[in-house]
Amino acid sequence: MSKLILRDYQELSINGLREGFAAGHRSQMLYLPTGAGKTEVAISMLAAAEQKGHRAAMVMDRRVLCDQTSQRLDKYNIDHGVLMAGHWRYLTYKSIQICSAQTLEKRGSFPNLKLLVVDEAHNTRRSTVDFIKNNPGIKVVGLSASPFVKGLGSTYSNVISKTTTKQLVDMGNLARLRVFIAKEIDMTGAKKVGGEWSQAEAGARGIQITGDIVSEWIKKTHEIFGGPRKTIVFCAGVAHGQDLSAKFKEAGYNFVSISYRDDEDAKQEILREFSKPDSAITGLIATDILTKGFDCPDVMIGISARPFTKSFSSHVQQLGRVMRSHPCKEFAVWLDHSGNFLRFKDQWEDLYHNGVSALDDGAEKPKKEPTKEEKEAAKCPKCGELWQTNSDTGQHCGHVRVRRNQVVSVPGEMQEIKLGKAVAARNKRDLWNQLCTYVKEHGKKPGMAFHLYQDIAGDVPPFKFEAALDVPVSRVVENEIRRRNIAFAKGCKRRATA
C-alpha cells in the first residue's frame, strides 16, 4: 500500500478551501490543471472528514470513473463503499462513499453527509446541482481543470486556484507542448447549434482532409521521434473517426476508433491495451470519450480534428490529455487541424500563466475567427510550428523569421506591458496581480491598485481586487510605483504652495 503524500500546491489548495469555508462559502470550485492530482486532493479531503467522524462522498458521472477512484482509495488503504447499483462494494454504512451521479439522482438524499466532492464539476448535471442547492448543510467542493461553463457561478460561490499550468511545467509535473498548425478543416458557413458548430457537419468536413491528417502525422512523428509514437486523435464524429482509422491502417498503422456506440466492456479492453508500454495500438481516435478519466502518460502526440467555435473547456481538456508527465517524455506534440489553438490562444495563454480567478467570465462565448493572414503569421512557413513568444527562430526546423516591421501580428497573442524599455508584466492579469500584491503588502487601500493599473495599462482591471493572486512583485513594477508616488507627492506640494 502507498502512503498518500500531497505536494505543496495540493496542500495550499486544501488550505485555500478551508479558508473559503471559514469565510462562509459553502460550495466552492477547486481549479487544478489536468495532471495536477485532483483525485489525490479529493481523497485527502475525504479521509480528513472521516477522521473527524463525518460522512463524505465523491460523485462522478461514469461507472468506470467510480471504479478507478475506488481502486485509488485501495492504493492508499482507505476503507470505503461504492454507492452504485449492482457494485460488489455497495456498502452504504461506510463513512466514505464513491457514488455515481445517476445513483445520487435516484436517491435524492444522503443522510448525515457533511462533505460532497463533485468530480469534473464543469460537466453540470441538473440533478447534482439540485442536490447541492437542496442540501444547504453539506459542504461542497467541485473539481475541474476547465471551470468555464456558463452557470457555475450560481452553484459555486468561490474559486480556489493555487497553481498554474506553467508552474507545473516548470516543475516537471507536466510536459511542455510543441504545437504545429496543420491543414485546417474548413468550417466556412457551417451550421451552428447553440453557438457551436454542428458535430455532424464538422465530421463531414473533417473527412475531406483525412488524408492530410494521416500524412502530417507520419511526417511529424518520423521527423521528431524517428518513428511512430503513441497518439490520441480527437475527431469530429463517429464517421470521421472510422474514416481516420481506415486511412491510418491503409498506411500501415493501427489506430482504433471508439465511440458511444461501442460496448462499454469492449472500450475498456481497448483502453487497457493502449495503456500498456508495448501496446499493439499506436493511436486512439474518439470525440469526447478521452476527455474524461483518460490517463495514459506515455502518449506523445495529440491530433486536434474537431473544430470548436466557443468550447474552450473542451479544448483545455484535450490539451491536458497529452501533457501528463512521463519519464520518457521531454515534451508533447500537438498537431492542430481544427484551428482551435489559434482560436483560443489568448485564453490558453491567460490560463497557462494565471490560472482561474472567477467563474462565469464569458470564456465560452463564440470566438472571432483569425484571418488567413493572421493564421499564416502565427506559424513557421517552413514546418508549420507555432512561433514561440519573443523568438524569431523555429524550434523544429531552425527557420529564421524575417520581420518586415517591429510588430508581427499573431492572433490573440498576449502582449507584454512595457514601461519605457523594461517589461512590467507578461500580460494585463499579471500586472494587476502584481499591483494588488504590492498594495496588500504595504497596507494600502484597493483603490490605489485600481488607479495605478488605469495609469499604466490605460484600461480597467481584468477582475476584482479580491480575486487577485498573490505573486512576486517585480523590481520594474516596484520602481514604477515608487516613481509615480514621488511624482504625485511633488504635484501635491506644488499645488499646496501655488
Q: Which three cell numbers stand for residue 460?
A: 480597467
Domains 8-162 and 168-378 share a fold: yes
Q: Look at residue 361 in the predicted model and tell me its pLDDT.
A: 67
- Edge-first strand order for the sheet with 301-304 is 176-181, 331-336, 301-304, 231-234, 283-286, 255-257
CA dihedral defined by 108, 114, 136, 101, rounded to 10 degrees?
-30
139-168 burial, b if ≥16 CB within 10 A, otherwise e?
bbbbbbbbbbbeebbebbbbbbbbbbbbbb
Query: 469 by DSSP, 3-state: which?
Result: coil
E-assigned strand segments in 397-472: 417-419, 422-425
Domain boundaries, the chain: 8-162, 168-378, 417-497
Half-sphere exposure of 262 (CA within 13 A, CB side): 19
Q: Look at residue 412 in the predicted model and tell me its pLDDT.
A: 39
With contact defined as beta carbons under 8 Å apart, do 324 and 34 qualify? yes
The predicted model scores a pTM of 0.79
Spatial separation of the C-alpha atoms in residues 111 and 103, rounded to whole Å? 14
Spatial separation of the C-alpha atoms in residues 139 and 235, rounded to whole Å? 38
User: 17 to each of 10, 24, 58, 418, how far by Cα in Å?
Assistant: 11, 11, 16, 35
Q: Which fold has domain 8-162?
A: Rossmann fold (3.40.50)
CATH 3.40.50.10420 assigned to 168-378? no
Q: Look at residue 430 in the predicted model and tell me its pLDDT.
A: 84
36 phi and psi, to 5 degrees?
-85, -5
Q: Look at residue 139 in the predicted model and tell me its pLDDT.
A: 96
Nearest to 186 by CA among 156, 206, 167, 168: 206
What is the enclosing helix (H) or strand (E) of 33? none
With contact defined as beta carbons under 8 Å apart, do 36 and 9 qualify? yes
Question: Cα angle vertex 342, ends 332, 190, to 5°?
Answer: 115
User: 207 to each of 170, 183, 301, how far by Cα in Å?
Assistant: 38, 13, 20
Q: Which three cell numbers stand for residue 117?
A: 466532492
Q: Which three cell numbers stand for residue 449?
A: 491598485
With residues binned 3-state (H G I as helix, E B as strand, rest as coil), the percentages for the chain, rounded to 5, are 40, 15, 45
Successive 10-residue mean pLDDT values, the chain, 498 residues? 88 95 96 92 95 94 85 92 86 91 80 92 87 92 91 92 93 93 91 88 92 95 95 94 95 94 88 94 89 84 94 92 92 95 91 88 77 84 80 77 49 51 69 91 90 85 84 84 81 71
